[in-house]
Amino acid sequence: MTAYIIRRLLATIPVMIVVALFVFFLLHLTPGDPAAVIAGDDATPTEIEGVRRKLGLDRPVWEQFGIYVWGLLNGDLGTSIFSNLPVTTLVAQRLEPSLVLALSTLLVAVVFAIPMGVVAAWKARTAVDRIVMGFSVIGFAVPVFLVGYLLIYVFAIELRWLPVQGYRPLSQGIDQTARSIVLPAFALGMVYMALIARITRASMLEVLSEDYIRTAHAKGVATRSVLLRHALKNAAVPIVTVIGIGLALLISGVVITETVFNIPGLGRLTVDAILKRDYPIIQGLIILFAGVKVMVNLMIDISYTFFDPRIRY
């Protein structure tokens, strides 16, 4: 097991090198003068020159790359062109809302989607199943911002149950945070729920036709226990896999959701960076998110051993 984890960690090195190479050379391979594009249309030659120096574009490419990678290895994700603050500092400032949003979404999606998928599989080909599948197909097509604005319109503007926009940090009390995160979590969770419900249903359907499920029934095990204790654990591996895949959707979705709900998180950092063409911030966020994704994949793979004793590394 330990050997496996070490091997997997080593395997992430080439992936991260490719990511670093990509974000670095993107700046150099793009047609035209990136310094001019980043400085904007109205920039004076001096301003363009300033941007060029800040990005280190005046030095030889390999020297730049060396400095960049050395910085990464020391935990330096780069420095913002406009605020002159390290990207790590900016990320740290904006981390809490995004983390809270991502985890609440994960929670909401799993808590709703897995029971939905289980029930759909149990009641396969009935009205309940069709409703769940219909929800899953539609949930997959509806864009995050439409769900977000609809939820705001209904629950915040019409019913006035929840705040329209904004985020309350955990330091102001968890109940305030919860109230501010409910709608964003459901909006972002929709696609995720659709995905997990669909896979849960498919995986459960397969498991429910297995011989050992018949054995469980023959033992007099109650339906609830057959579904949860005997079937769900066997159906878990594909479900966990899709939760991992869905995390990629989540990262992209966080950026949009934070914009809809005006949440000052990493998504807002990204949007501000887009508006100011602050490339180092986007560069740093890509490295950060890619790293998170690689680690999540590793954790998912390790979690398989917990669900299926036949999997050994």
Partner 1 sequence: MTALATATAAPAAAPASSDTILSVRDLRTQFFTRDGVVRAVDGVSFDLKRGETLCIVGESGCGKSVTALSILRLIPRGAGRIVGGSIKFEGTELTTLPEDQMRKIRGNRISMIFQEPMTSLNPVLTVGAQIAESLHIHQGLDRRAAWDRAVEMLSIVRIADPKRRAGEYPHQLSGGMRQRVMIAIALACNPKVLIADEPTTALDVTIQAQILNLMLELKERLGTAIVLITHDLGVVAETAQRVIVMYAGRKAEEASVEELFRNPIHPYTRGLMGSIPRRTATGRRSNIRGRLQEISGIVPSLREEIPGCAFAPRCSYAVDRCRTEQPPLDPHGPYHLAACWEAARVAATPR
Partner 2 sequence: MATTTDVAAPVAARRRTGALAWIRRNPTITIGAAILAALVVSAFLAPWLADDPLSFEPINRLKRPSEQFWFGTDQFGRDVYSRVIYGTRISLAVGISVAVFATAVGLAVGVLCGYYKRADAIVMRIMDGLMAIPSILLAIALITLMKASLFIVIVAISIPEIPRVVRLVRSVVLTVRGQPYIEAAIASGTRGLTIMVRHILPNTIAPLIVQATYVCASAILTEAGLSFLGAGTPPEIPSWGNVISLGRTFFQIAPWIIFFPGVLLAITVLAINLVGDGLRDTLDPRIARRM
Which residues of this chain interact with partner 2, rule CB under 8 A? 14-19, 21-23, 26-27, 30-32, 34, 37-38, 137-138, 140-146, 149-150, 152-153, 157, 164, 202, 248, 251-252, 255-256, 259-260, 270-271, 273-275, 277, 279, 282-283, 285-286, 289-290, 293-294
CB of 265 to partner 1, least distance (A): 38
Tell me which residues in 210-229 interact with partner 1 (CB under 8 A). Answer: 210-212, 214-222, 229
- Report in angstroms how near the CB of residue 152 gets to partner 1 at its nearest: 42
The distance of closest approach from Cβ of residue 284 to partner 2 in the complex, given in angstroms and rounded to an integer, is 11
Selection from partner 1, partner 2, none that 111 binds (CB < 5 to 8 A by kind) is none
In b/e form, how buried is each residue of 205-242, taking b as 16+ CB within 10 angstroms? bebbeeeebeebeeeeeeeeebbeebbbebbbbebbbb
Of 241, 249, 294, nearest to 15 (Cα)?
294
Over the window 115 to 154, marking each residue x when it contacts partner 1 by CB under 8 A and - when it does not, the resulting string is: ---------xx-----------------------------
CA distance 239 to 229: 15
∠277-295-246 over CA atoms, to 5°?
Answer: 75
* Closest separation in Å from C-beta 110 to partner 1: 19
Residue 251 binding partner per list partner 1, partner 2, none, with a CB distance cut-off of 5 to 8 Å that depends on partner kind:
partner 2
Q: Which of 282, 301, 283, 246 is nearest to 102 (CA)?
A: 246
> Which of partner 2, partner 1, none does 124 bind, CB closer than 5 to 8 A by kind?
partner 1
Least Cβ distance, residue 35 to partner 2 (angstroms): 10
Q: Which is nearer to partner 1, 76 or 210 (CB)?
A: 210
**In terms of CB distance, is 43 or 221 closer to partner 1?**
221
Q: What angle do CA 186, 191, 197 make, to 5 degrees?
A: 100
Q: Between 259 and 303, whose beta carbon lies closer to partner 2?
A: 259
For partner 2, the closer of residues 99 and 228 by Cβ is 99
Q: Which does 216 bind (CB under 5 to 8 A by kind): partner 1, partner 2, none?
A: partner 1
- Rounded to a whole number of angstroms, the minimum distance from the CB of residue 239 to partner 1 is 13
Partner whose binding site includes residue 222, from partner 2, partner 1, none (CB under 5 to 8 Å by kind): partner 1
